[in-house]
């Protein structure tokens, strides 16, 4: 014989009766309890009354206010579940001037609008607002070519084309006054190493809206090589008796060139002169001068910025 049968004979056969009895008692208790008064804390919805067409909400407005209320159980249950809970209307007659509302200011607003609830306490201490006048301004759009995020050794080799050369920006007064006269596009891609053709947004705060919101940007990109070449120096106006002699006869030239034109460059495309009439007596040097170079060679640098001049002993006799 099981313990269940020993302690509750016949219960197995009458389980439906027992279950209905428990359900009935629970239902009676629940309905009786819901008819009593209770206090509870609610996150009650709020709504704001002001003209939104001429202003910008800089920081999000609070969606709820924390309050303690008392009422019958049924009413509290509906409000807790947000059933027929009409938001509390908070008027902001001068939204750009109002920075906050304290608990003292909120109490009468909330008390007058609680349907069927009695306000016991406002938990929210202060509601803050950051609303500014809306400013609309049209600005030119451009690409900051110096700061295009190209991969190392790559350069832009074509004009930069923009589909839209201007846009209309709308935002809060404080940020619009900081907006530059020319607004640059914002590159999201890094290490660009190929021809570019994409839609780009603008370098502005997220709260500032633009129309159009973006523009197409196109340009061509090529790989550039760092090269060097050594050429003989051309000497001008040196004494014919060799009483003054340069220490260097050749000079190395460093330059950058588009890899597509690498094979077009040779030593004859460059010329460097050292003119004795520019002799510096303080350090016995002459500054070499680049006379011409290949038009595709860029960032040209001479390996020597001074050529030392020697005077053989015979010249002092």
Residue that finishes a domain, picked among 169, 198, 219: 219
> What pLDDT is recorded for position 118?
77
pLDDT at 296 over 90: yes
Confidence of residue 63 (pLDDT cuts 50, 70, 90): very high
- Both tokens assigned to 194: 């190929």
Mean pLDDT along residues 247-270: 96
21 lies in some domain:
no
| CB contact set of 13 (below 8 Å; sequence gap of 6+) | none
Mean pLDDT along residues 12-29: 53
Confidence of residue 69 (pLDDT cuts 50, 70, 90): confident
Mean pLDDT along residues 15-33: 51
Residue that finishes a domain, picked among 129, 154, 186: 129
CA distances from 47 to 67, 95, 178 (A): 15, 13, 31
Confidence of residue 37 (pLDDT cuts 50, 70, 90): low
CATH number reported for the structural domain that contains residue 172 in this entry: 2.170.120.40
189 lies in some domain:
yes
Based on the fold, state whether residues 187 and 121 are members of the same structural domain: no
> What pLDDT is recorded for position 31?
43
pLDDT digits (tens, 9 = 90+) for 94-146: 999 999 999 999 999 988 887 777 788 899 999 999 999 999 999 999 999 99
Share the mean pLDDT of the chain: 86
Nearest to 100 by CA among 124, 68, 120, 133: 124
Q: Among residues of the chain, what percentage have pLDDT more than 70?
A: 82
> What pLDDT is recorded for position 17?
55
Q: Which ranges of the chain would DSSP assign to H, the alpha helix?
A: 3-7, 15-34, 73-80, 103-111, 173-176
What's the burial of 164, exposed, middle or buried (CB within 10 Å: 0-12/13-18/19+)?
Answer: middle
Q: Among residues of the chain, what percentage have pLDDT more than 90?
A: 71
Give the span between the Cα atoms of 42 and 67, in whole angstroms: 5
Domain count, the chain: 3
Mean pLDDT along residues 277-286: 95
Angle, nearest 10°, between helix axes 73-80 and 15-34?
90
Mean pLDDT along residues 184-189: 94
Mean pLDDT along residues 296-302: 96
9 lies in some domain:
no
């Amino acid at each position: 014989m099981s313990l269940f049968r020993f302690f509750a004979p016949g219960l197995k056969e009458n389980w439906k009766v027992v279950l209905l009895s428990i359900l009935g008692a629970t239902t009676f208790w629940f309905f009786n309890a819901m008819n009593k008064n209770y206090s509870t804390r609610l996150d009650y919805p709020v709504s704001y009354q002001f003209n939104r067409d001429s202003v910008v909400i800089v920081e999000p407005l609070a969606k709820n206010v924390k309050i303690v209320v008392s009422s019958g159980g049924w009413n509290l249950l509906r409000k807790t579940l947000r059933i027929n809970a009409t938001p509390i209307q908070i008027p902001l007659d001068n939204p750009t001037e109002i920075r906050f509302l304290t608990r003292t200011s909120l109490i009468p607003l909330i008390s007058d609008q609680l349907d069927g609830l009695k306000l016991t306490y406002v938990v929210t201490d202060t509601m803050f607002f950051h609303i500014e006048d809306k400013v609309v301004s049209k600005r030119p759009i451009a690409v900051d070519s110096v700061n295009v995020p190209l991969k190392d050794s790559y350069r832009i080799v074509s004009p930069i084309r923009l589909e839209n050369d201007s846009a209309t920006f709308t935002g809060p007064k404080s940020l619009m006054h900081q907006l530059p006269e020319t607004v640059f596009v914002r590159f999201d891609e890094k290490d660009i190493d190929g021809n570019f053709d994409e839609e780009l947004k603008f370098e502005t705060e997220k709260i500032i809206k633009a129309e159009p919101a973006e523009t197409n940007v196109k340009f061509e990109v090529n790989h550039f090589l760092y090269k060097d070449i050594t050429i003989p120096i051309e000497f001008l106006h040196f004494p014919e008796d060799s009483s003054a002699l340069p220490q260097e006869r050749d000079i190395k030239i460093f330059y950058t060139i588009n890899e597509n034109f690498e094979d077009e460059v040779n030593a004859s495309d460059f010329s460097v002169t050292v003119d004795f009439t520019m002799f510096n007596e303080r350090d016995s040097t002459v500054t070499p001068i680049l006379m011409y170079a290949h038009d595709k060679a860029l960032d040209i640098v001479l390996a020597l910025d001074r050529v030392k001049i020697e005077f053989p002993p015979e010249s002092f006799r």
